Structures are given as C-alpha cells and as structure tokens.
Chain A
Amino acid sequence: MLLTLSIFIPMLGMVVVLLLPKDNHNLIRWTSVGIAVATFIPIVVLTMGYTDPDGESAADTLLAERERVIAEAPEAARAAILALTAEGVAEANDPGTMSDLAADDERAAHWSLVKGDREAEAAYHEAWELAIAAQAAISQNLKYVEYGNWIPTFNINYILGVDGLSLPLIFLSGLLFILCFVYSFNITKGVKAYYALFLLLETGLIGVFAALDFFLFYVFWEIVLLPMYFLIGYWGGPNRIYAAIKFFIYTLVGSVVMLVAMLALYWQGGYDTFNLLTLIGMSGNFDATFQMWIFMALFLGFAIKVPVFPFHTWLPDAHVQAPTAVSVILAGVLLKMGGYGFFRFSYTLAPEAGTSEFMVMFIGLLGLINIVYGALCAMAQTDFKSLVAYSSVSHMGFVLLGLAAFTPEGIMGSVFQMFSHGVSSAMMFLLVGVLYDRAHHRDLNKFGGIGLQMPYYTGFAIIGFFTSLGLPGLAGFIGEMSVFMGSLNAEGFDWSGTSLYAPLPRWVVYAALPGVVLTAGYILWAVQRVYMGEAKKEEYKTYSDLSGREVFSLVPLAAMCIVLGVWPRVLIDFMNPTLDVLREFITTAGIGG
C-alpha cells in the first residue's frame, strides 16, 4: 500500500497543481514541495521498516494471493490447481518443489484438465504464475509486494515490490525531488507546467524502481520519457529543442527494442506471462540462443539510458541544455534506471547469457571504454556542465565493470557506485547551477577566484567534486575501490568448485585504472580554474554567497557524501543481503546449476 501511495501521490499532486491558479507562483511552489514531502514520508517508512525481520515476506503475499485465486476459481480449475499442489507445491519455501512446478510436462498434464474453459484456464494459469513467483521472490529478497490484476486478457498484473537494490534508489529519488523543487524556486517561466511535469516524472521514476511486472515497468519507463522531453525542450538552454528531440528519439529506440524483448519473453519464452518474478523463476529453462537475444535486446534498452558508449551522445546535449533541477534528476536517478535494469532484468532473465564468456568480455570492455573515454572527453570540455556530464559517462563505466566481474565486491561496488554517483552528480549539477545563476555562463576558462568571494559555496563544491574524484573518506571512493577490488579478484574466481563461469581478465581492469588518474586530472584542473586564482572578471567580486534555498538543497547531499564515505556500512548492510541472493541465483542459473 505504501509503495502505491508513493507512486501515485505525485500523480494526484500533479492534478492538484494543475488546478491551482496560474499566476500564484508561490502557492504552486510550496504545494509541490508539500507533495514531494508527502511522497517522501511513505518512502522513509518503507526504508526504516525494510530491515525489520518480522515483516511480511513477498512469498507470503504472493501465496496469499494464490489462495484467493484458488478460492475464486471454478471447480474444474480448482481440481487442476490442487492436483499440482498435491505434488509438492504447498511448501513454497522448499526450493526442491520449484523444479516440479517448472516441469513443462507436468503443467501440460494438468492443463488438459482445464483446457477449453476460458475462466478455468485463466485461474489455473494465474495460480501457477503466483506459485512460481512466490518461489522466485525468495531468491530476490523482495518485500512489500503488492498484487492486483490490471489487464487480465494479456495476463498483465499490477505488481510492486522492493528490495535492497531498488529501495535505495527510490529513497534517493524521493529526496532529490524535494531538493529540486526547492532549488527550482528561481524558475519563473511556466511555473505551473514545470512543477506538474516534474511531479509526473516522479511518479514514473518511483514506478520504474518498484514495478515487478514487465509491462507495468515498461509503462512507467515510458512515462519518464515524456515529462523529461518537455522539461528539456521548454525550460532548457538555447539549443534545447535539438537536445530534447535527441533525448526522446534515443530513449524511444531503446525502449521499443525492450518492448520486443518483453513480447518475445511472453510468447517465445512459452509461459504467457509478464510477471517478472515468474519469468525469473523460469529463466533457467530458456535456451542459450534465446537468452542471448533477450540479453542483447534488453541491453540495448538499458545501455542507452546508462548511457554506455557508443550510445552516450544524447547525454551531454541533454545535460547542457537542461535546466539545473532537470540535470540533477537526469544524472541523479534517470541514469540509474539503466543500471537498475541490468540487475533486475538482464541478468536475472538471461543468466546464462549474462555470465557467458562473450558477455563478460563485452560488458567489461564497454565499461573500460566508458571510464577512460568519458574521462578524456571530460578533460577536453570548456563548458562546466558538459564536463560534469562526461564525468557521469566515466563514472557509470565503473558500474559496468563491476557488473562484468560479478564477484561479490564487484556487484556491491557497482550498486554503491550507482547510489554515490546519484548523490555526487546531483550535487555537482546543483553547484554548477548556482554559479550559472550568477555568472550566466559556464565557460571554465573565464572563471577564477570564486573561492575567495563565495567561501561557503566553495566548501560545498570541494565536497561534491572530491566525492566525484574518489577521495578516500567520501562516498565516491567506496564504490570505485570495491569495483576495482572485485574485478581484479574476478580472474581465478570460481563458483563453488566449478570453473564454468567466465572470469573478467585482469588486463581490462589494469587498463581502466588510469581512468582514476584522468578523473583526478579533470576535476582538479576544473576546481583550480574556477575556484582558485584571481577573478577574471570584475563582476565576480560582487557575487553573494549561497542563499538559504541553495544551502537547503546542498546540505543533505553533502552530508550523504561524507556519511557514506566514512560509514559506508549504512548502505552496504542494507543492500548486501539482496545482492548476495541475487548473485547466488544468477551464478547458479548461469552455470546451469
């Protein structure tokens, strides 16, 4: 219930905002902030309660739903369902029963009992789907699962749930929206539409991270696309329309290819379902070629969002043209949709393909290219925002590298990096925005001496940029460090005595290491040009330091940079149980265990 609330409060809020008088800007602004806070409250409650061991497990919820389906089923279907249950499905917690349920010939035998009766077929199918989903939910460490029928004709359900992978990202989204709403008080053009679109964006983003039905996920994924398009295209910089269209088309290409993969899973997978958990439960049965196709198609969709070289070219355009708050959301959470998709969809639905020698090498190399190429590009930028945008490309490379390695440290580092990059890049875009609001340009070579004039601002800037640089003691270091450790450890790493799993060669990691030096290079160089030295223009000496609004947006992020750097266990302990079962599941399925 709380998840549904956190998804739909922003959407309701959008309607409320649209009904407010157009010219009362302050009313609109404060209402929106109120809505964002109201959205954040259930998220915080979920986050606090997540580690509580007594909470209702996902499997229980799904099995309860299954009981309901059985109770409501017509007589013919009930017999078939119970026949299946009698053979050992009642104990959903017993992993041994899963293979029984998944066996195609067993299903076919019981299917004949209901065949021809549409209602009975549907009930039988749903009960089976739920039983498999309940099994899979255990291997996914999910909680707060919600279930409902949405479009029964196509077996499309409304399923939500979160785990240690998605909940931090939902938390980050909820927080960033509050900060962005406050920061955006300086927007004066089309205030009502601006906040309404932002609220719709929030619905889409939280929905993407919470959806456990592939169709539902796709719908939220596309909902994100539209407000973003308008936010860039209407409130952006001089070249905004080009950037908005480019963003739209790139992302649409990715998502429609994903759509085909989704339909292929439904039909060619042979299980007639969009229920992600059921599909995950059955993914071991997909043959290798099919998995490879699915993996590639999903990969394209997610890679464009991450963005992975060579699909990254929309990102600098979008960032440079977008207004500050939009850049913050874009870098902070939107890019994470791609990374999240790899974990939640690509690897779980095609474990064999994901852990194959080719894919490990492919993703590892792409990660390497992202890290080094992104850093080199960042170094060449003269536009401050463009530099930060390319630094995102570089940092998301670490996520890929950790994924390719697929060792415990690698995965942990990869997810940690997503979160810490969400914090640090959001902060950097805010910092650039603060400066741009005063100077109205972003040319790195024309700044200088800001540190003397705006000491508090510069303090925050140092925290933000050094987090991005990966300075020990700040959040960025933990992610990068773990990724490197994990991926160096990958060679010679073998899974429970088997060596079928293809390791990432060490040379890829060694080749990526200079990326860290390059990162230090472009960050230090930028900090030097902007904050140190003499002011290059007289007007810089008239700048006032941070306003209350700006401080409000920066403080929580700075605090998170430091806390996560000093005491990373807050996050690691939160997500590790999830990542452990996830890795266990994927490697077991991947090596045909």
Chain B
Amino acid sequence: MNGATVADLGLVLPELILTGMALVLILVARRIQSTSVPVVATVLAAAAAVAASWWVLSKEPQSAFGGLITVDGYAQFFKVLVAAALALVALLSVKGLEGSGAPRSEYHVLLLLASVGMMLTVSAVDMVTFYLGLELITLCSYILVGITVDRPSSNEAAIKYFLLASFASALMLFGISITYGLTGTTSFSGVAASIAERGLADDPLQLAALALIAAGLAFKIGAVPFHSWVPDAYQGASTPVAAFLASGSKAAGLAALGRVVVIAFGPDSPALSIILVGLAALSVAVGSVLVLAQTDMKRLLAYSSIAHVGYAVMGLTAGTDAGASATMTYAFFYVFMTLGAFGVVIGLGARGATLDGYQGLASQRPGVAGVMLLFLLALTGIPLTSGFVAKFVVISSAVGAGYVVLAVLAVVCSVVSAFVYMRIAVLMYMREPESPTPARFPVTLSVAIAIAAIVTLVGGVLPRLITDWAVAP
C-alpha cells in the first residue's frame, strides 16, 4: 500500500470542485439575498464535475490515496450520473422551494456535500472510504429532509429518517468490523482474496458480516424489508429533496452495492446471490403492490422507487460483469425518469401533490401532460422509452443467471404497477379538468424536465449510447 501523493488530488477533481463550491457558498451564505446565485453556482459546479469526470475518464483505471479509492470507468460513470442528478435537482429547487423558508445557500451546500459523499462512495474500494462516503450522504440528507423547519411533517420525517438510518449505519459498521476481524484488511480486493482462500460458505461469522453489510446498503437504497423510511421521508421532505433522495442517493447506493457484490464478496457468492434475490423479489413485489393504494404523488413515487430499486438489484443477482452493467444502465435511466416525474410534480405546485390534481391536465397543458406521460411510460417500462431498456437488461441478466421465477415475478409486478401509472394517464387524458389551468413552468424547471425527457426518449430508441458506456468494474 502506497501513501497518498499530491498527484492523487488530480484524480478526485470532481469531488474537489464540488467541495470547493460548497465552501465558497458557506462563506458567502449570509451575504446572498438572491435565490438564483446558489442555484447557478451549484449547476456550474456540477457541470464542471461532469466535464472533469469525462476528462479523467480517458485514462486507465488507477487507484489513489493508498488504495482507498479508485478512478475507473465504473466510478466515472456514476460520478457523471451523480453530478447530472445534482444539477437537475438544483434546477428543480428553484420552483420547488418557493415560499418554503428554507435557507437557500445552506440548502445548496448540503446538496453539494451530499454529492461529494456519493462520488466518494462510488469510487471507494476500501470499507473505510466506503462507509465515510455513505455517512456523508446520510448526514446531509437528514438535514435536507428537515430543512423546511416550519413544517411539522418535515421535522417528523427527518427524525424518523435519522433514527432508522443511524441504526442501519451501525449495522453496517458492525459488519465491516467483523469482516476486518476475519480478514485483517478493509480493502475490497483484500477481502475478496481472503474469502477466496478460506471459502465463504463454511464461515457463519463471515456470512453474518455479509448480511449486516447488505442490510445496511439495502437501507440506503430503500429496498424491502428496509424500506419503511422511504415513503415517510419522501412525503415529509420538500419535493426537490425527495427527488434528490430518489435519484442521486439511490444511484450511489446501487453503485456501492455493485462494487461490494462484484469485487469484495464476488467470488464464490451463492450466499450473496440469495440475499440479493430476496431483496429484489421483495422490493419489486411490495413496491408494486403498495404503489396501487397511493393517492399522494410523493408517496406514490416513493413506492415506485422501492419497486425500481428491486429491479435494479436484479441485475446484480447474476454476480457477473454483464449483470453489474445492467444495474448501471438501470440506475442511469431511472435517475432521469424519476427526476422528470418529480419535476412535473413540482411544476404543478399544490395541484401536483395528489392524484386528483392531474384530472384533465392534457386539455389544459398538453405539453406538460405529454412529458408526464413519457415519464409514466418509462416507469411502466413500455418500449421506446428508456424504462423498457432498463427493465429489459436487468430482467435479461436475471434470466441469464437462471432466476427465471424472479424474472416472471418482476414482469408480473411491472403489470401490476402499470395500473397506477396508467391511472394517472387516464386522469390526464380521459377526464375533464376540475381545477384552473396551472401556471406556466419557470424556465429552470422546463430545462430540467426537458433534459430528463430527452434522456428518457433517446435512451429508449438508441440505448447503445449508454449501454456501451456502462462497463462493470
């Protein structure tokens, strides 16, 4: 293991950009009155981070800081995704936080820092950095969820999230320490080597450690049975924060899970496969069934995100590179379609918060109804939207791994959840409007929704633009 050098800093350029911007915003926070400055700053930083990731991407995979993190295609893929999600969420926040009384500067600082945590997580190849990254995300998220202090529901959600997340973090830490005790190392490759040597199946303690780490990660991504915080947190948080939790956080959690699965516990991992199949099956089934009963849009999208995480995890069940890249594809497309849907919810304001608000939207705002329909179709998984490609690749890798029953369950559940997405379509297109025409969307929001829509559509027609790029670690 080598020590860190100054040159290593060049490899974490995207993180440095975001951290730098966060520090600047903190310093000048009290002086900023306008709401647009932090938004512009955040979007610029995110764009710079995307550019930096592209720039570093052209190089070979290399490890930095004494093997604590690695900069490879997998990390870059997720860094670009995280930065893009950050930029979109910042754009959504302009309208989403209107009149909420949330301190603008601090809000964006938290978004930036959480994104730094995500970037660390996706590039971590050591249990310690991995845990640090996840904790940074979670800590920022507590405050983000509770940032609208005037609303009791927001505070309640923050407390709930805090209590449950602390518990999950403790579990994971416990798992990490057991693993360290057994293997004498915290690096993923070291753990993998040690497990390959000793064999995982015979060691109940190692299995327990694995289960604890998996449980902690399952909590972070909101997979059943560790999902109970998700609907409450989404509903209590302001809508852009919910969007952030649903997009960037999930992507980072999935990336971390992917690396743990493929590298650390990858070899000889029937136990891990069983855990993942269980998580995937439960998430898909529970998410798809409970989503049917929702009338609040944020809760609806929360249950939908639970189901989608289940689909994304399906890719990992195979434990192969192809499976991991299927999950990457899923995460990428899901982030954009869910951000788009949240964008429409935000744009419609109070009316967008409940299902009934969508009645007759098509006759009042055909464009808005059109993009919403696109996102709903993508969430359902209808061809020519990215959602279909995403479902296709993960289900395909599950079938490839021999989990045909899981695949059948997944497709049946996609039909079940289609019911609720199509109900929104029915409300929009086949009913007469009951509320007045909603105001025009601000430009920032429209831009964010348009980007999400373009990715969703292009991803559906020419998926190779993304799938070629999603290469497992």
Query: What is the interface of chain A, defined by CB distance below 8 A to chain B?
Result: 151-154, 218-219, 222-223, 225-226, 229-230, 233-234, 240-241, 244-245, 248-249, 252-253, 256-257, 259-260, 263-264, 266-268
The answer to whether A264 and B399 have CB atoms under 8 Å apart is yes
The answer to whether A153 and B468 have CB atoms under 8 Å apart is yes
The contact of A253 among B377, B396, B412, B423, by CB within 8 Å, is B412
The contact of B396 among A154, A219, A252, by CB within 8 Å, is A154
The contact of A240 among B377, B384, B430, by CB within 8 Å, is B430
Chain A residues positioned under 8 Å from B408 (CB to CB)? 257, 260
Interfacial residues of chain B within 390-412, with CB under 8 A of chain A in the complex: 392-393, 395-396, 399-400, 404, 407-408, 411-412
Q: State how many angstroms separate the Cβ of A180 from the closest Cβ of chain B.
A: 21
The answer to whether B407 and A154 have CB atoms under 8 Å apart is no
With A154-B393, A222-B383, A266-B396 as contacts: A256 and B430 at CB distance below 8 Å: no
Question: Is residue B131 within 8 Å, beta carbon to beta carbon, of the partner chain?
Answer: no
Q: 1/0 contact trace for B133-165 toward A, CB 8 Å?
A: 000000000000000000000000000000000
Interfacial residues of chain B within 94-117, with CB under 8 A of chain A in the complex: none
The contact of A263 among B399, B418, B422, B426, by CB within 8 Å, is B399
**Measured CA separation A126–B399 after assembly (Å):** 22
The answer to whether A233 and B463 have CB atoms under 8 Å apart is no
Q: State how many angstroms separate the Cβ of B19 from the closest Cβ of chain A.
A: 35
Given contact pairs A154-B393, A252-B415, A266-B399, enumerate 13 new A-B contacts (beta carbons under 8 Å).
A152-B464, A154-B467, A223-B384, A225-B382, A233-B429, A234-B429, A241-B426, A245-B426, A253-B415, A256-B414, A256-B415, A263-B396, A264-B399
Chain B residues positioned under 8 Å from A225 (CB to CB)? 382
Chain A residues positioned under 8 Å from B426 (CB to CB)? 233, 241, 244-245
**Measured CA separation A266–B322 after assembly (Å):** 14
With A230-B429, A263-B407 as contacts: A218 and B419 at CB distance below 8 Å: no
The contact of A260 among B404, B418, B429, B464, by CB within 8 Å, is B404
Chain B residues positioned under 8 Å from A259 (CB to CB)? 392, 395, 411
With A219-B383, A245-B419 as contacts: A267 and B411 at CB distance below 8 Å: no
With A249-B419, A259-B411 as contacts: A234 and B430 at CB distance below 8 Å: yes
Residue of A nearest to B401 (CB): A267
Q: Which 6 A-B pairs have the closest CB atoms?
A: A256-B411, A263-B399, A219-B383, A267-B400, A222-B383, A153-B467
**Measured CA separation A559–B422 after assembly (Å):** 41
With A219-B384, A223-B384, A248-B422 as contacts: A268 and B399 at CB distance below 8 Å: yes
Chain A residues positioned under 8 Å from B412 (CB to CB)? 253, 256
The answer to whether A267 and B399 have CB atoms under 8 Å apart is yes
With A234-B430, A260-B404, A263-B399 as contacts: A248 and B411 at CB distance below 8 Å: no
- Best-buried of B377, B400, B468 by chain A (most CB within 10 Å): B400
Chain A residues positioned under 8 Å from B464 (CB to CB)? 151-153
**Measured CA separation A233–B382 after assembly (Å):** 18
Chain A residues positioned under 8 Å from B468 (CB to CB)? 153
With A233-B426, A253-B412 as contacts: A218 and B418 at CB distance below 8 Å: no
Query: What is the interface of chain B, defined by CB distance below 8 A to chain A?
Result: 377, 382-384, 388, 392-393, 395-396, 399-400, 404, 407-408, 411-412, 414-415, 418-419, 422-423, 426, 429-430, 463-464, 467-468
**Measured CA separation A220–B335 after assembly (Å):** 26
Chain B residues positioned under 8 Å from A218 (CB to CB)? 383
**Measured CA separation A233–B418 after assembly (Å):** 16
Chain A residues positioned under 8 Å from B423 (CB to CB)? 245
The answer to whether A263 and B383 have CB atoms under 8 Å apart is no
The answer to whether B418 and A252 have CB atoms under 8 Å apart is yes
The answer to whether A241 and B396 have CB atoms under 8 Å apart is no
Residue of B nearest to A149 (CB): B464
**Measured CA separation A253–B413 after assembly (Å):** 10
- Best-buried of A152, A244, A263, A266 by chain B (most CB within 10 Å): A263
Could you list 10 examples of A-B contacts with CB < 8 Å? A222-B388, A226-B377, A233-B430, A245-B426, A252-B418, A260-B411, A263-B395, A266-B396, A267-B396, A268-B399
With A226-B377, A249-B419, A266-B396 as contacts: A241 and B463 at CB distance below 8 Å: no
**Measured CA separation A244–B418 after assembly (Å):** 13
Q: State how many angstroms separate the Cβ of A270 from the closest Cβ of chain B.
A: 11
**Measured CA separation A253–B408 after assembly (Å):** 11
The answer to whether B418 and A257 have CB atoms under 8 Å apart is no
The answer to whether B415 and A249 have CB atoms under 8 Å apart is yes
Query: Main SS of chain A's interface residues?
Result: helix
Chain A residues positioned under 8 Å from B463 (CB to CB)? 151
**Measured CA separation A264–B400 after assembly (Å):** 8
**Measured CA separation A264–B404 after assembly (Å):** 8
Residue of B nearest to A232 (CB): B430
- Best-buried of A230, A257, A267 by chain B (most CB within 10 Å): A267
- Best-buried of B383, B392, B467 by chain A (most CB within 10 Å): B383
Residue of A nearest to B467 (CB): A153
Q: State how many angstroms separate the Cβ of B162 from the closest Cβ of chain A.
A: 39
Chain A residues positioned under 8 Å from B414 (CB to CB)? 252, 256
Q: State how many angstroms separate the Cβ of A289 from the closest Cβ of chain B.
A: 13
Residue of A nearest to B329 (CB): A153
Chain A residues positioned under 8 Å from B399 (CB to CB)? 260, 263-264, 266-268
Chain A residues positioned under 8 Å from B467 (CB to CB)? 151, 153-154
**Measured CA separation A264–B468 after assembly (Å):** 23
Chain B residues positioned under 8 Å from A260 (CB to CB)? 395, 399, 404, 407-408, 411
The answer to whether B383 and A223 have CB atoms under 8 Å apart is yes
- Best-buried of B388, B404, B468 by chain A (most CB within 10 Å): B404
**Measured CA separation A225–B384 after assembly (Å):** 12
**Measured CA separation A240–B426 after assembly (Å):** 11
**Measured CA separation A218–B389 after assembly (Å):** 12
**Measured CA separation A260–B382 after assembly (Å):** 15
Q: State how many angstroms separate the Cβ of A207 from the closest Cβ of chain B.
A: 11
Q: State how many angstroms separate the Cβ of A187 from the closest Cβ of chain B.
A: 16
The answer to whether B382 and A222 have CB atoms under 8 Å apart is yes
Residue of B nearest to A218 (CB): B383
The answer to whether B419 and A226 have CB atoms under 8 Å apart is no
**Measured CA separation A229–B422 after assembly (Å):** 10
Chain A residues positioned under 8 Å from B382 (CB to CB)? 222, 225-226
Q: State how many angstroms separate the Cβ of A293 from the closest Cβ of chain B.
A: 9
Residue of B nearest to A257 (CB): B411
Q: State how many angstroms separate the Cβ of B305 from the closest Cβ of chain A.
A: 21
- Best-buried of A152, A153, A219, A257 by chain B (most CB within 10 Å): A153
**Measured CA separation A253–B411 after assembly (Å):** 8
Residue of B nearest to A253 (CB): B415
Q: State how many angstroms separate the Cβ of B292 from the closest Cβ of chain A.
A: 12
Residue of B nearest to A150 (CB): B464
**Measured CA separation A260–B430 after assembly (Å):** 32
**Measured CA separation A257–B413 after assembly (Å):** 11
Chain B residues positioned under 8 Å from A252 (CB to CB)? 414-415, 418
Residue of B nearest to A221 (CB): B383
Chain B residues positioned under 8 Å from A267 (CB to CB)? 396, 399-400
Chain B residues positioned under 8 Å from A268 (CB to CB)? 399, 404
Chain A residues positioned under 8 Å from B407 (CB to CB)? 260, 263
**Measured CA separation A233–B430 after assembly (Å):** 7
- Best-buried of B384, B393, B422, B468 by chain A (most CB within 10 Å): B422
**Measured CA separation A587–B123 after assembly (Å):** 57
Q: State how many angstroms separate the Cβ of A292 from the closest Cβ of chain B.
A: 14
Q: State how many angstroms separate the Cβ of B430 from the closest Cβ of chain A.
A: 5
Chain A residues positioned under 8 Å from B415 (CB to CB)? 249, 252-253, 256
**Measured CA separation A152–B415 after assembly (Å):** 28
**Measured CA separation A421–B465 after assembly (Å):** 44
Q: State how many angstroms separate the Cβ of B326 from the closest Cβ of chain A.
A: 10
**Measured CA separation A222–B395 after assembly (Å):** 17
With A151-B467, A253-B412, A267-B399 as contacts: A245 and B422 at CB distance below 8 Å: yes
**Measured CA separation A222–B383 after assembly (Å):** 6
**Measured CA separation A240–B418 after assembly (Å):** 18
**Measured CA separation A581–B423 after assembly (Å):** 46
**Measured CA separation A253–B415 after assembly (Å):** 6
Chain A residues positioned under 8 Å from B419 (CB to CB)? 245, 249
Chain A residues positioned under 8 Å from B422 (CB to CB)? 229, 245, 248
